[in-house]
Amino acid sequence: MTGVWLSIAPLKKNSRASIHVMARTGRTGRAPAALFQFGSAFRIGLTMKIGISITSAHDLSNIGDVRTGARWMIERAAAARQAGLDSLFIGDHHVTGTPYYQNTPMLGRLLAEWGDADVGALYILPLWQPVLLAEQVATLASIAEGRFIMQCGLGRGEDQFSAMGRDIRFRPSAFEECLNSLRQLWRGETVSSNGRNKFGPATIAPLPPEPIDVWIGANATVAIERAARMGDAWLAEPSLNIEQARAAFNTYRQARELLGLPIPETVAIRRDIHVAEHPNEADLIRQQVNQTGYRGFSTDALIIGDPDQMAAEFRQLQEIGYTDVIVRSLHPYQGHTIASLQRLSRVKAQLE
């Protein structure tokens, strides 16, 4: 990606700070934008990107049958491409009471709708056998026309851990071991492990056509610090309101500074949204959400508005330091979701 970074990174105690200047180029570059500042880092020439995390969970009372749920996901991927969104992702969850379409096979189908923009999937690493996951991601990356990004996290919920034969108490160590093994396997190394996953020796083919970018989702302070240490990027949770998002970003920035590292090219945040045609429609959707609730989120963590209001909300995130906002439609019905995706192109135009 095209961009120039100026950042002040601390050195050892009693020594002067150093100034790092980095330029990155690539086919997924950002359009020029105004200089903005956060903390001790400056970003020049970067425009905020909008990606989509396509909903994988579909209640049968809404979709009627499981084929409809899969078709809705395919239609949403096509609509996201037509809207010119910058990235597409799909999530990871297991043993759910409601239909949840699994990420690897579903993403393989969605790639046919997508094109050469960034694409990826979330994987709860402690649940996965590293060799199997390395092969699946490398295969998806070989199918994808653009850059492949693996989002990953610790996961939660005793039910899915026990169903997969995993001990939830060991999530942090299992996560780190799995990620280290994945990176070695993707480099073509022969890997063995006697840790949480015992395997090997193993090598994989095909290898990814380009390095896999790793975005680590994290919310707790210790998890954000892990993301700062191990990730190519950090992905903030969708449940944060604007002040919580600011505080979490500062935690991440400080963790990078303590490591002597600049803020990376990408700092992403998930947001659940609805883009309305006009403010009155937005008010109606907001009232409905207030009455029924939404995923246990506080309503001030959701972004609901017309294109002008949405652009203003996204600019607040940009001013904090987030470079990418990954959206998910909060409306359960397909017609409203497709219309919201189409209007995102108008939001995106205001940010360029």
- Tell me how far apart the alpha carbons of residues 336 and 239 are, in angstroms, rounded to a whole number: 22
Determine the pLDDT at residue 15.
Answer: 35
C-alpha count within 13 angstroms, C-beta hemisphere, residue 326:
28
- Tell me how far apart the alpha carbons of residues 292 and 64 are, in angstroms, rounded to a whole number: 21
Query: Domains of the chain, with CATH numbers?
Result: 3-351 (3.20.20.30)
- Tell me how far apart the alpha carbons of residues 85 and 117 are, in angstroms, rounded to a whole number: 8
Determine the pLDDT at residue 292.
Answer: 86
Determine the pLDDT at residue 43.
Answer: 53
Q: Pairing between strand 3-9 and 41-44?
A: antiparallel
Summarize pLDDT for 42-96 with one digit per residue, the tens.
454 578 999 999 999 999 999 999 999 999 999 999 999 999 999 999 999 999 9
- Tell me how far apart the alpha carbons of residues 273 and 302 are, in angstroms, rounded to a whole number: 6
Determine the pLDDT at residue 92.
Answer: 98
Determine the pLDDT at residue 293.
Answer: 84
H/E element, 72 = helix 66-82
Determine the pLDDT at residue 23.
Answer: 37
Sign of the C-alpha dihedral computed for residues 330, 334, 337 and 341 taken in this order:
positive
Determine the pLDDT at residue 290.
Answer: 86
Helix (H, G, I), strand (E, B) or coil at 227: helix
Q: Which residues of the chain have pLDDT under 70?
A: 1-45
Structure tokens at 267: 């700092």
What's the CA angle centered on 79, arms 75 and 81, to 5 degrees? 120
- Tell me how far apart the alpha carbons of residues 211 and 138 are, in angstroms, rounded to a whole number: 10
Structure tokens at 49: 């990107």
Q: Find where tokens 């607040």 sit.
A: 316
Determine the pLDDT at residue 36.
Answer: 40
C-alpha count within 13 angstroms, C-beta hemisphere, residue 151:
29
